[in-house]
Structures are given as C-alpha cells and as structure tokens.
Amino acid sequence: MLPMLEANPTLITRDVQHILVNTAQKNDPSSKDKNGNSKWQQNGVGRWVSYEYGFWAIDAAAAV
C-alpha cells in the first residue's frame, strides 16, 4: 500500500480498497470444490469472489 500512497498521497482508504479489487488477478480460476462446483461466485455487485481466495491475488504493480 505504501507505494500506492507515494504515487498518489491523496488516496483515502476506500480508494485503496477499490484499486486493489479492480487490479487484482484471478488465481486458480478453474478451481473446483469436492462436488465439482466452481469455487468462484459473483457477489451482489458482480465481482468474482472465492471463499478460499477472496477477491483474487493482489497485483501490486498494477495497483501503483
């Protein structure tokens, strides 16, 4: 998070959260549970989320 704030010191916590979610990279996109169902589901606002991975893996370079 520090490089993001160094690049743009006017960011607030909510900005940082949105940037991290929007620049994250989906890890293990084809993962399935023991019943063969995808571990990825879309939440109420259309973001893909996994009960194992959350909102994907942070891409620090893209976030900055």
Domain assignments of the chain as residue spans, ordered by start:
2-63
pLDDT reading at 1 higher than 80? no
Full-model pTM: 0.66
Q: Compute CA distances 18 → 31, 39, 54, 57, whole Å.
A: 25, 22, 14, 14
Q: Does the pLDDT value for residue 6 go beyond 70?
A: yes
Q: What angle do CA 28, 24, 44 make, to 5 degrees?
A: 85
pLDDT per position as a tens digit, 7-58: 899 999 999 988 988 888 878 878 888 899 888 889 998 888 888 878 788 8
